[in-house]
Amino acid sequence: MSETWLISGSPGCGKTSWILDTFKNHQGSCGYIRLKGFSEIDLEQAVSSKIDFNYLKDQIPELLDLNSSNLALITSKENPLIIIELPQFKVPELYGLNGIDLRVLKELEDLKLKPNKYLHFGRDPELQIKDTLNFKNIESYNLELKKSIWDPASLNTFWFELVNGAYGDVYRAKALMNLPDGRYIFFNWILSQQGSQYLTLNNVAPLNGRPERHSEIVIQGNKIDFDLIKSTIQNCLLNDSVLELHQASLRDSQLQTA
């Protein structure tokens, strides 16, 4: 029998980590979709980011992306679990399926998804909230970085500056970044938790040019200088000739060790 759960919560409450753990513990096929959510007054939702799916897919390669109309495929499999992630600031007034926002219900209908369970982080006991951030004002910004490759030392400097307030009050930042040696790094940071999470994903790109995989940064906070962030990022990215220099040197060292 197919299980379809709708999971909502505010930014950084731990939705994606919980979903990953749930999928890992599930005996059967898994499907995932992330809805855009709706912005409230002074509280802007992040643009529907592909970071979460790419991160989950890297950790669970058989995960099906329900954004790509795989619904029929997953429901035909054995013991499927579909999780719908919904970014939502406000706590639903009603418990269970009755608490689903009407706008979300409409969206789910269009996607032909019918949840049989709805849980909200911080309200339902199954979903303990990890942080105590009380968002009163939040702006959101995302920058697609597909085919962009970072100078590693510059990335280190930029991330330090970003999470320490050089570009405004950042509450939440996550990203998928490409490095010249083919590594694909998941960055995750939230104000209320100590330190950043850096995870090198399993996906490794070949040392010849720019990978096609998804790369993006999502930043949420208050009074953020997005123009400065954008220009700083531009100064951190490698141009073709510098990239080739890096990759040629890495190819040579691989040949020598082979």
Partner 1 sequence: MKQAVISCLHANLPAVEAVLKDIELQGITNITCLGDLVGYGPQPNEVIELIRDKRISTCQGCWDEDVVDGLDACDCSYPSQLAEKRGHIAHQWTTDQLTKENKDFLAKLPYSIRKDKCLFVHGSPNSQHEYLLPDMDAFAALERVETARAETLFCGHTHQPYIRELANGSIAVKVKNADSKDIQEKEMDLPMRRIVNAGSVGEPRHGGTKATYVVYDENTNEVKIREVEYDVELTCKAIIKAGLPQIFAWRLRNGFEFAEQAEDASHVCER
Output the smallest distance, CB 167 to partner 1, in A. Answer: 9
Work out whether 204 is an interface residue with partner 1 (CB under 8 A). no
Site for partner 1 in 71-110 (CB under 8 A): none
Q: Is 235 in the site for partner 1 (CB under 8 A)?
A: yes
**What is the smallest separation between the CB atom of 77 and partner 1, expressed in angstroms?**
47
Q: For the chain, give me the number of helices (H) and strands (E)? A: 7, 10
Q: Which candidate, 204, 211, 220, places its Cα nearest to that of 254?
A: 204
Query: For partner 1, which stretch binds (CB under 8 A), given 27-35, 122-130, 153-161, 201-209?
Result: 153-161
Cα–Cα distance measured from residue 140 to residue 163, given in angstroms and rounded to the nearest whole number: 15
236 touches partner 1 (CB under 8 A): yes
The residues in 156-175 that bind partner 1, with binding defined as CB under 8 A, are 156-158, 160-161, 164-166
- Alpha carbon 35 to chain centroid, angstroms: 12
Tokens 């989950």 appear where? 56
* Identity of the residue, 156 or 249, whose beta carbon is nearer to partner 1 in the bound complex: 156
- Give least dist CB 149 to partner 1, A: 11
Among 228, 230, 248, 254, binds partner 1 (CB under 8 A): 228
Residue 248 within binding range of partner 1, rule CB under 8 A:
no
| Calpha distance 28→117 (Å, rounded) | 18
Sheet holding 3-9, edge to edge: 64-65, 30-34, 81-87, 3-9, 117-120
Q: How far is the CB of 229 from partner 1 (least distance, A)?
A: 11
* CB neighbour list of residue 53: distance below 8 Å, 6 or more residues apart: 32, 34, 63, 65, 67
> Residues interacting with partner 1, by CB under 8 A?
151, 153-154, 156-158, 160-161, 164-166, 228, 232, 235-236, 238, 242
